[in-house]
Amino acid sequence: MARRPSRKAPASTRPDGGGIVRPERLQAVLEAIREAGETGITKAGLARKLDGAALRTVDRAIVLLEAQGARFGKGRSGRPALIHFTLEKAPDWDSRITPHARLALEVALMALEGTATELWYDQLEALRTLADSHLSNRDRDLFRALQTHVCVRGGSDDQQALDTRMLTQVLLALGHPEGPRELELSYRAATGRTTTRTVVPFTLTHDVFSGGAFLLAWDPAKQEPRHFRLARILEAKALARRGLVADKAPLERARDFQIGGWFSPGEPFPIRVRVSGTHWPRALQDAPPALPGVEVLRDRNGAVILGFQATELNGPTRVILQFGADAEVIEPLELRAHLAGTLKQMAARYR
Cα–Cα distance between 8 and 90 in angstroms, integer? 15
CATH of domain 23-89: 1.10.10.10
Q: For the segment 298-342, what is each residue's pLDDT rounded down to a tens digit?
A: 998 899 999 999 999 999 999 999 999 999 999 999 999 999 999
**At residue 74, does pLDDT exceed 80?**
yes
Q: Whole-model pTM above 0.85?
A: no
Helix axes 23-36, 137-147, angle to 10 degrees: 40
Residues 89-104 pLDDT 10s = 888 777 666 666 666 6
Which CATH class name applies to 164-247?
mainly beta
| pLDDT above 60 (res 11) | no
Cis status of the peptide bond prior to 91, with omega within 30 of 0: no
Mean pLDDT for the stretch of residues 196-208: 87
Taken in order 176, 181, 186, 188, the sign of the CA dihedral is positive
State the alpha helices, DSSP H only, in the chain. 23-36, 43-49, 55-67, 99-115, 118-133, 137-147, 164-174, 249-257, 280-286, 314-321, 333-348
* Spatial separation of the C-alpha atoms in residues 16 and 25, rounded to whole Å: 10
pLDDT tens for residues 222-251? 899 998 988 899 999 999 999 999 889 999
Pairing of strands 233-242, 181-188: antiparallel
Q: What is the pLDDT of residues 182-194, one digit of tens each?
A: 999 999 998 999 9
User: Which letter does DSSP use for residue 182 in this model?
Assistant: E
Q: Which fold has domain 269-348?
A: Alpha-Beta Plaits (3.30.70)
Most confident of 5-9, 106-110, 145-149, 179-183: 179-183
Domain 164-247 identical in fold to domain 269-348: no
The domain ranges of the chain are 23-89, 99-147, 164-247, 269-348
> Please, what is the Cα angle at 210 between 203 and 345, to 5 degrees?
135
SS (H, E, C) 12-51: CCCCCCCCCCCHHHHHHHHHHHHHHCCCCECHHHHHHHCC
**Side chain identity, residue 232:** R
